[in-house]
Structure 1
């Protein structure tokens, strides 16, 4: 049994785990900086297992790991010859895991993302971007994905090009924007205006992903919600961004040590700035109450975030049987079988 994207949106919503780049880097299978998803070729079993973990935790979607796997990025890395093999491998792995036995068959989404090519002052860049998106959408269509995710666009016009290419394929399309600290997209539009225009152009779901954590994404989500009529997406990074530091790019760690190799915590020293599972659950509940039905987590996502967000939405997942239970824990448990001299230690812990 597999309900469509629109059926799930109408019947309670979609929970989507993303953030493969950070999680694979943290596990030692991807290089920070270049952030090219070669793991699909080098360690396909590892990628398949991460897909399984996210679905086990409650994700309704397996997003094929082709973020940054576009021609421009591969050319910079001098690995353009791997472009098509990487895309087709990532799509095949996502499809194979989705075909395994699950309580409900997960959706499989193709993925295209922001590039470093787009330049509003260079008409030729538009053609370059369109060509890159066209070939990636083509591979996703050949793989028979359920819909496309177009994400992390900070130029409205580049998001429009992505949407146009997906619309040609006939696939449903989710388009999400990344908002830098200045508070508007790089071509001057607010995210709410961009989302309204994208919805008018036929996007099935519009919203935001990445860059901002729950606290600094929510105000913009409220503005978007007031401007659009259809379905909306919200996939923050799980980090404690603030009004002073609204994105995770310049998020400071007051306890950072001299041996930290970069001036910022991004991208390899963000660990102390992470939201816990309960903060992400609260975000999911707040966003759902706002009428947002496509929810998830971007860079920094872990399976436990997804599980707790699923619980906040009233869902049981395969991972729910492992929900914490402190009743028999030696310091905090209240089970009668715990010895008194052990339980009294909690006052000294």
Structure 2
């Protein structure tokens, strides 16, 4: 009778299989791999047989993405039970009497951690795990979990519903550290404490870097250590990923894995039966490591635990009292003289900050980081630069944040960004690797001195984060709930889209009473009746009352149009100043003189209010 895998691992090193998707992909199959358990069962079984013939003692079912969330991409979310049951049947058909068949459940969250709620993940996990266990899998393999919180939640579910062996694998972007900054050693210790029988890591790293990560890892006290490295770093050729495959390299590294205490050794992306056979040959006649002295100390990451910035004079203004920010977008051309004249005029009129959009309306402008640095050096007014999720992938966003910090530009407004379809280049790609909330969290992680990959930045950044607020929606309560989530992500204060309705400002004040972070109400002068109609009908997130549009339509001549527009703004400012401490003036199409006039009005109004408050003995 075959012993349990727990008992077997006490005596010898076991070999796991390699990548299922790599082989199926090499056969020219490029669709939902889990569906193949039903439509092309022979192909899947042949993959299992190839790994067993190569020496695999442990094989995993073809169910990495056989859950509700991932199958929904193909409209197959109702096939979870059928695909998982078929996968176990195929693996058991291919297995010998000595082969262990583990039901694989892959992680869902990657760098977009909040793309799927943990409640939905847990529900889908339970459904998949039940199907695998009821069909007779020898245990569960939880693999490729970048989000440790997700793995912790599902491992606890798995441990409650089965006494069978559980393998729990985290994945790292950088050797030895998880995305959260947690060390691999701490993660594996926690997984062991939560009941995993075998703990380790898979994916992303090849043998070289995975060995580097394992050098810091002591042998688990009760569990066993496992490793499933990738074949290599992938190459990209003619639209496809390719992995280099040198079996002798893997045979050599099998010894190194054994010397770090690994008892279960398999492969992940890019590995084939060739690498698995090399691993098998490499550990032949080797006894498992019984003790290990850890001599390499993991890097100590010095972090700012609060993620707070203590060096933002602009944020001090946000907290201290009334302040006015002015949005003044950078030019679309290289003649910057007029722009800097505008900055000077706004500074003299008393603006507390100049904010610059990040290619507003998806049209290219001079980099707001470059202009922000020039403003910082030449003027006494602080710049606040916008940062969108649209134009940069995750690599570019991190590089940009590091650059902003080095330039001393520590005040940010995080926005999603208008889609490229509305801009000058509708064929350009909108990236959106992360949402605005995820980008806020990333910025605050930088403030703790930790990069996205979990590695130390050597020092924390010093960012303060404003977040966007669109109150021009039907359900204002839902918009406020979104603000609450942004506060949870780390938003320090909010800047709203332009509001053109006095009653709406009062409604916002009532709805946002629970929001402790300061809110700046957006006020934007209109330049013409056509401008009003365009904003109302074509620009996302902006709505104008009929009364405002009618007043603009009735105005005759440039001077009257300007006067009516400024009157509307003054009325809005009066209401906003009764209910909010911050005003956000949005300069229309470079007409900074309108913002200057409104700044002067606000300053006069502030003096009047200060006198009234002093006379009443009230501190606002």
TM-score tier by shorter-chain length is: 0.7 to 0.9
Superposed counterparts of 1:210-249, under 5 Å: 210-225=203-218, 230-239=223-232, 248=233
Q: Which residue of 1 aligns with 2:178?
A: 185
Offset of residue 118 of structure 1: 9.6
Q: Which residue of 1 aligns with 2:444?
A: none
Q: Which residue of 2 aligns with 1:72?
A: 69
Q: Which residue of 1 aligns with 2:246?
A: 276
Could you say which structure has the larger radius of gyration? Answer: 2
- 2:110 and 2:266 map into 1 onto residues whose CA distance is 27
1:52 aligns with 2:49: yes
Q: Which residue of 2 aligns with 1:148?
A: 140
- Please give the TM-score of this superposition, normalised by the length of structure 1: 0.76
Q: Which residue of 2 aligns with 1:108?
A: 101
Offset of residue 227 of structure 1: 7.0
Q: Which residue of 2 aligns with 1:136?
A: 128
- 1:132 and 1:18 map into 2 onto residues whose CA distance is 25
- 1:20 and 1:89 map into 2 onto residues whose CA distance is 15
Task: Supply the RMSD in Å over aligned alpha carbons.
Answer: 2.4
Structure 2 unmatched ranges of 5 or more = 286-620
Offset of residue 224 of structure 1: 2.4
Superposed counterparts of 1:197-208, under 5 Å: 197-208=190-201
1:23 aligns with 2:23: yes
For 1:303-344, what per-residue CA distance to the aligned partner results, in whole angstroms no more than 9, with x for missing partners? 1211121111116xxxxxxxxxxxxxxxxxxxxxxxxxxxxx
- 2:225 and 2:69 map into 1 onto residues whose CA distance is 29
Offset of residue 183 of structure 1: 5.9
- 1:234 and 1:298 map into 2 onto residues whose CA distance is 9
* Secondary structure, aligned partner of 2:241: coil
For 1:78-137, what per-residue CA distance to the aligned partner results, in whole angstroms no more than 9, with x for missing partners? 221322211111111112222xxx4x5201101111114897669x81211111111111
* Secondary structure, aligned partner of 1:145: coil
For 1:261-320, what per-residue CA distance to the aligned partner results, in whole angstroms no more than 9, with x for missing partners? 3xxxxxx2324xx140011111211111222101011111211211121111116xxxxx
* Secondary structure, aligned partner of 1:37: helix
Offset of residue 30 of structure 1: 3.5
What is the number of equivalent residue pairs in this alignment? 285
Q: Which residue of 1 aligns with 2:430?
A: none
Describe the shift of the 1:9–1:213 C-alpha distance in structure 2 as closer, same or farther (beyond 3 A): same
For 1:164-219, what per-residue CA distance to the aligned partner results, in whole angstroms no more than 9, with x for missing partners? 12211222111111111486323331222111111111111111101110111111
1:170 aligns with 2:142: no
- 2:110 and 2:207 map into 1 onto residues whose CA distance is 29
Conservation of the 8 A alpha-carbon contact between 1:225 and 1:232: no
Conservation of the 8 A alpha-carbon contact between 1:137 and 1:165: no
Conservation of the 8 A alpha-carbon contact between 1:119 and 1:126: no
Conservation of the 8 A alpha-carbon contact between 1:29 and 1:39: no
Structure 1 unmatched ranges of 5 or more = 240-247, 262-267, 316-349
- 1:119 and 1:202 map into 2 onto residues whose CA distance is 27
- Please give the TM-score of this superposition, normalised by the length of structure 2: 0.44
Q: Which residue of 2 aligns with 1:305?
A: 275
